């Protein structure tokens, strides 16, 4: 089939002299530009007519998989629906027109929203204080680990290690390293949960923090959590909860109640900040009382007269991690979401997310191996290990073929503790019909010819780019021949 859309770059459709606009003749006399500022030749900008320009970019935009167009079960990334109402409200001039250097007395409404968001996130965490500054989950991890480092330094304790389970998101060990700690891997047992014996053998007075994702990336709630947090605390270390994806436990259990001392949220995953393709994000952290003095300054505070202001006087603070108040546009969307849902609605989100994931798991279980998949939390991890051995069908083949069928692929080859992993997170915003259709499509793909799958996708402009080269040697700039 002939491809409907051209793959030309805009430079390649350029024709000398074409323009998108016509300007009236200038009535202003030409000024002489100092030769220091003159280029020898003008930059090689593309020259195209307006219609060609519009078609070019509109066609490009339609090549994306997007949550507004496609089911997008990308495990751990939580591609739930982002309400359009949030976009309209956050664009109100009262929000969008603010300048971060305005005096506090002129931005009381915004400060009230930020203050209330701090309270909500503190409450959902079951902890004592919250900083909205970090601009992503990974930056939240780093910020919390810097807070932990400052806390131990203040106590005169020299703790150099951060323990991280092997099923953790790659940002966990990376954040530990950037915060100046040695990252030590803790094994998962056969059941996919933290192997207690391995944790105990590595836990000692050198340990600063144990980072845990619970429910973990296998979609399993680690029911040893109380024992784990007790053991970590016995050694004087802190427990960090990776709460990027809180969708299974909102309003059901609180990290602070099961022993976490600090955590981060991903507002862009759990609380409907639109995301993908690199941001913007928001990764607030919540901490227990003894860590509060070390949080990034400033914090939003409210005095007894109900006036909001920024508290800069925090002598033990680790300082700023982000300019101004963080990614305020994303935080406001999260606030709108929480205000819309209220406490019961927030709990319902998790109940529905867990129900949807278990429904999909039940539909797929007899057709593809799900190693620890009796039941799951908000996501589950299938494995193409047997399919690969018996039919030469890999996780990548399935992921690529799903694109032909109009679905974004699940997360593949993560977590690394499962061979040929396909990590599936339907989220709470999908209907039963969508889940039925997706399951039917995935099952029909498993019956397809392996050779057909090896070359999928067949119906898209690009089939299988060289992903390693694209990562290691990205070509981001067009150069004229």
Question: Which residues of this protein are in contact with ligand PLP, per CB under 6 A?
Answer: 76, 136-138, 169, 171, 213, 242, 244-245, 266, 281, 283
Residue nearest to ligand PLP (CB): 137
Q: How far is the CB of 277 from ligand PLP (least distance, A)?
A: 12
* Residue with Cβ nearer ligand PLP (283 or 334): 283
* Residue with Cβ nearer ligand PLP (169 or 231): 169
Helix axes 328-364, 108-125, angle to 10 degrees: 30
* Residue with Cβ nearer ligand PLP (350 or 453): 350
Instruction: Identify which of 385, 391, 410 has the alpha carbon closest to the alpha carbon of residue 451.
Output: 391
- Using CA atoms, how far apart are residues 54 and 416, in angstroms rounded to an integer? 43
Q: Are 207 and 163 in contact (CB under 8 A)?
A: yes
* Residue with Cβ nearer ligand PLP (171 or 358): 171
Instruction: Identify which of 217, 208, 299, 213 has the alpha carbon closest to the alpha carbon of residue 264.
Output: 213
Q: How far is the CB of 135 from ligand PLP (least distance, A)?
A: 8
Neighbours of 45 (CB within 10 A): 9
Instruction: Identify which of 234, 264, 225, 239 has the alpha carbon closest to the alpha carbon of residue 162.
Output: 239
Q: Are 448 and 392 in contact (CB under 8 A)?
A: no
The contacts of residue 447 (CB under 8 Å, 6+ apart) are: none
* Residue with Cβ nearer ligand PLP (109 or 170): 170
Which runs of consecutive H residues, i.e. helices, occur in 310-384?
A: 328-364
Q: How far is the CB of 120 from ligand PLP (least distance, A)?
A: 19
Buried-exposed string 93-114: b where 16+ CB fall within 10 A, e elsewhere: eeeeeeeeeeeeeebeebbbbb
* Residue with Cβ nearer ligand PLP (266 or 439): 266
> Could you identify the residue written with the tokens 């032909």?
404
* Residue with Cβ nearer ligand PLP (76 or 356): 76
Q: How far is the CB of 212 from ligand PLP (least distance, A)?
A: 11
Q: Are 79 and 427 in contact (CB under 8 A)?
A: yes
Q: How far is the CB of 418 from ligand PLP (least distance, A)?
A: 15
Q: How far is the CB of 238 from ligand PLP (least distance, A)?
A: 18
* Residue with Cβ nearer ligand PLP (242 or 261): 242
Q: How far is the CB of 283 from ligand PLP (least distance, A)?
A: 6
Q: How far is the CB of 407 from ligand PLP (least distance, A)?
A: 20
- Using CA atoms, how far apart are residues 230 and 237, in angstroms rounded to an integer? 10
Q: How far is the CB of 321 from ligand PLP (least distance, A)?
A: 13
* Residue with Cβ nearer ligand PLP (382 or 453): 382
* Residue with Cβ nearer ligand PLP (139 or 405): 139
- Using CA atoms, how far apart are residues 22 and 221, in angstroms rounded to an integer? 63
Maximal C-alpha separation, the chain: 82
Which runs of consecutive H residues, i.e. helices, occur in 127-217?
A: 137-154, 171-178, 196-202
Q: How far is the CB of 169 from ligand PLP (least distance, A)?
A: 3
- Using CA atoms, how far apart are residues 370 and 373, in angstroms rounded to an integer? 5
Q: In what order do the strands lie in the sheet with 161-165?
A: 129-131, 285-287, 262-265, 238-243, 207-212, 161-165, 182-186
């Amino acid at each position: 089939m002939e491809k409907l859309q051209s793959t030309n770059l805009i430079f390649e459709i350029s024709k000398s002299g074409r323009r998108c606009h016509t300007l009236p003749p200038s009535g202003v006399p030409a000024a002489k530009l100092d030769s220091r500022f003159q280029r020898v030749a003008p930059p090689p900008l593309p020259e195209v007519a307006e219609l060609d320009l519009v078609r070019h970019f509109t066609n490009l935009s339609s090549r994306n998989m997007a949550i507004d167009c496609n089911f997008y079960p990308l495990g751990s990334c939580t591609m739930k629906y982002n309400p359009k109402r949030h976009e309209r409200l956050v664009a109100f001039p009262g929000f969008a027109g603010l300048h971060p250097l305005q005096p506090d007395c002129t931005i009381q409404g915004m400060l009230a929203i930020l203050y209330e968001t701090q309270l909500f996130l503190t409450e959902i965490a079951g902890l004592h204080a919250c900083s909205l500054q970090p601009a992503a989950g990974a930056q939240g991890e780093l910020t919390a680990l810097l807070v932990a480092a400052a806390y131990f330094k203040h106590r005169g304790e020299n703790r150099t290690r951060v323990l991280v389970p092997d099923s953790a998101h790659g940002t966990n060990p990376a954040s530990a390293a950037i915060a100046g700690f040695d990252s030590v891997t803790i094994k998962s047992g056969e059941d996919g949960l933290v192997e207690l014996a391995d944790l105990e053998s590595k836990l000692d007075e050198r340990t600063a923090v144990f980072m845990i994702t619970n429910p973990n990336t296998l979609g399993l709630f680690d029911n040893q959590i109380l024992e784990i947090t007790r053991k970590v605390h016995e050694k004087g270390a802190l427990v960090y909860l990776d709460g990027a994806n809180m969708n299974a436990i909102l309003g059901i259990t609180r990290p602070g109640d099961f022993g976490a001392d600090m955590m981060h949220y991903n507002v862009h995953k759990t609380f409907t900040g639109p995301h993908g393709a690199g941001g913007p994000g928001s990764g607030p952290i919540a901490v227990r009382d003894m860590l509060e003095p070390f949080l990034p300054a400033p914090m939003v505070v409210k005095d007894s007269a109900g006036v909001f202001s920024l508290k800069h006087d925090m002598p033990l603070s680790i300082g700023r991690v982000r300019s101004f108040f963080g990614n305020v546009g994303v935080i406001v969307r999260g606030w709108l979401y929480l205000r819309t849902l209220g406490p019961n609605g927030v709990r319902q989100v998790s109940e529905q997310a867990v129900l949807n994931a278990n429904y999909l798991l039940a539909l797929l279980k007899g057709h593809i191996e799900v190693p620890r998949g009796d039941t799951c939390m908000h996501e589950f991890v299938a494995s193409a290990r047997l399919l690969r051995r018996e039919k030469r069908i890999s996780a990548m083949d399935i992921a690529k073929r799903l694109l032909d069928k109009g679905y974004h692929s699940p997360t593949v080859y993560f977590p690394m503790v499962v061979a040929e992993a396909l990590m599936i997170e339907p989220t709470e915003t999908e209907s039963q019909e969508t889940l039925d259709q997706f399951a039917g499509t995935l099952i029909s793909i498993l019956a397809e010819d392996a050779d057909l799958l090896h070359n999928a996708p067949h119906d898209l402009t690009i089939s299988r780019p060289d992903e390693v080269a694209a990562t290691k040697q990205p070509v981001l700039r067009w150069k004229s021949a």
